[in-house]
Structure 1
Amino acid sequence: MFRSAVADWYEVPTGSMKPTIEEGDRILTDKMAYDLRIPFTHVSLLRLAEPQTGDIIVFDSKVADNRLIKRVIGTPGDIVSLQNNELTINGEKVSYSTLNESIRWLDKTEHLKGHAHTIRLTKSAASLVQFPATPIAADHYLVMGDNRDNSADSRVIGLIPRDELLGRAERVIVSLDYDDYYLPRSDRFLKRLE
């Protein structure tokens, strides 16, 4: 009952949230961050809070037919656009600063409504680098993966209805390196997600 209504863990199978979240991370999800729910259901008894821009959420996507983890970019009432992999929210361009660069990717800090986090962009041509100004409807959220060019997010599955939310991702509990015989990545244990 605890896992169905209070807190749960989610195993991350893909790199869509790199560099914030790695494949093999087990994420602690606060299931009471937004709603008080009837255990074993998605039925909300009481709304406790609303997801904020920059929150990392876990949700059951009906469109993707899968449980996903993404970052909230747009909340109800916002107008969001993406041009050349740079966001504009309500007419204000989001600021970026370069962190790291490799042959294949570029890591940047994205400053999103007072919340800074790292995103990853590939240097090869990407097909999802833009979308027109999109108004966010009531009880819906625009979400994106931090690994912007390798994420099936709202650019693919559309806006996320609030009733699909499971909770807010809080921290990495444990992490196993899929590329190194599932050895533990102890430097990621109990890492707070930002």
Structure 2
Amino acid sequence: MNFALILLILLLVSGAIWAVDAFVLRKRRPADAKDPWWVEYGASFFPVILIVFMLRSFLVEPFKIPSGSMIPTLQVGDFILVNKYTYGIRLPVINRKIIDINSPQRGDVMVFRYPEDPSLDYIKRVIGVPGDVIAYQNKKLTINGEPVPTTRVDDYLHPERLYYSRQFTEKIDAAQYQALNDADAPPYIPGPAQFPNRELCSYNAAGVVCTVPPGHYFVMGDNRDNSRDSRFWGFVPEQNIVGKAFFIWLNFSDFSRIGSFR
């Protein structure tokens, strides 16, 4: 469901009702006449819809985390806020950038439209920016030939499934975060898709090596063996970017998570 398009249609309809009533119909009604119900509702909803539309399109947008691909950073059921302007001002619905501000940086947690189905929003961590050579070999990550600094910490217990994953602290540029992998999961990438710029990736028994093309980004989930990401379906085009995730504002199962993500 394209909520932005639905919101735009509601805005245009309610705005048209408000404008026609304000500039035409109101002048024709007797001073003591009651507004028709369709005018009353349409005109009263217009400013509310306008505020919601502007906030959601240009400032912040809420999302709910549907899967465990970003555990432990983000949990299933987290409601997050996404900064819509940090990567530039975009026109709603068509998602075309009109003002350039910043570009995604390595380590950012980014929301984007899934390249294979742009009606779906995905969230992953930016690992590679244009021109980077990303290698994920035997579950070790390198960027431009330099190993990403990694420290083993206590294993992570998945509370709902009651099993442990190996947990590491990784540091990419200014971002430091926890990442997981499973000891019994193979390092190779099973069944990668035939995506655009597929020739820039090479697959082997140890994993994958990719060169990020201009205008694209390489993203991965923090829960490495339970995430379908750029290793499987390729690069994220710049025009698919939605914004940068920055805040957990609600989790009905665990209120202590509110505000725990930056």
Query: So what's the TM-score if we normalise by structure 2?
Result: 0.67
Confirm whether residue 87 of structure 1 aligns to residue 163 of structure 2.
no
Q: Deviation of residue 130 (structure 1)?
A: 4.4
Residue aligned with 1:28, SS: strand
After superposition, residues 1-194 of structure 1 pair within 5 angstroms as 1=53, 2-65=55-118, 66-101=120-155, 104-126=164-186, 127-128=188-189, 130-177=206-253, 185-193=254-262
Matched-pair contact (CA < 8 Å) for 1:104–1:123: no
1:180 equivalent in structure 2: none
Runs of 4+ more than 6 Å apart: none
Closer, same or farther: CA 13–49 of 1 in aligned 2, 3 Å: same
Which runs of 5 or more structure 2 residues have no equivalent in the other structure?
1-52, 158-162, 190-204
Residue aligned with 1:176, SS: coil
Residue aligned with 2:150, SS: strand
Counting aligned pairs with the same residue, the percent is 33
- Alpha-carbon RMSD: 1.6
Structure 2 CA distance for aligned equivalents of residues 114 and 38 of structure 1: 30
Query: Which structure has the larger Rg over C-alpha atoms?
Result: 2
Aligned residue identity for 2:60: A
Matched-pair contact (CA < 8 Å) for 1:104–1:124: no
Q: Deviation of residue 82 (structure 1)?
A: 0.7
Q: Deviation of residue 64 (structure 1)?
A: 4.4
Structure 2 CA distance for aligned equivalents of residues 34 and 121 of structure 1: 30
What are the Cα deviations for residues 75-124 of structure 1, in whole angstroms up to 9, with x where unaligned? 00111101111111111111211111255311110121242110011122
Instruction: Kindly tell me the number of residue pairs found equivalent between the two proteins.
Output: 186
Larger proportion of helix: 2
What are the Cα deviations for residues 145-175 of structure 1, in whole angstroms up to 9, with x where unaligned? 0000000100111010010000000011101
Structure 1 CA distance for aligned equivalents of residues 98 and 57 of structure 2: 14
Residue aligned with 2:57, SS: helix
Higher relative CO (CA 8 A, sep ≥ 6), structure 1 or 2? Answer: 1
Single out whichever of 18-27 and 127-136 deviates more from structure 2. 127-136
Matched-pair contact (CA < 8 Å) for 1:5–1:40: no
Single out whichever of 35-44 and 80-89 deviates more from structure 2. 35-44
Q: Deviation of residue 45 (structure 1)?
A: 0.6
Residue aligned with 1:104, SS: strand
Aligned residue identity for 2:223: N
Residue aligned with 2:70, SS: coil
Structure 2 CA distance for aligned equivalents of residues 111 and 43 of structure 1: 32
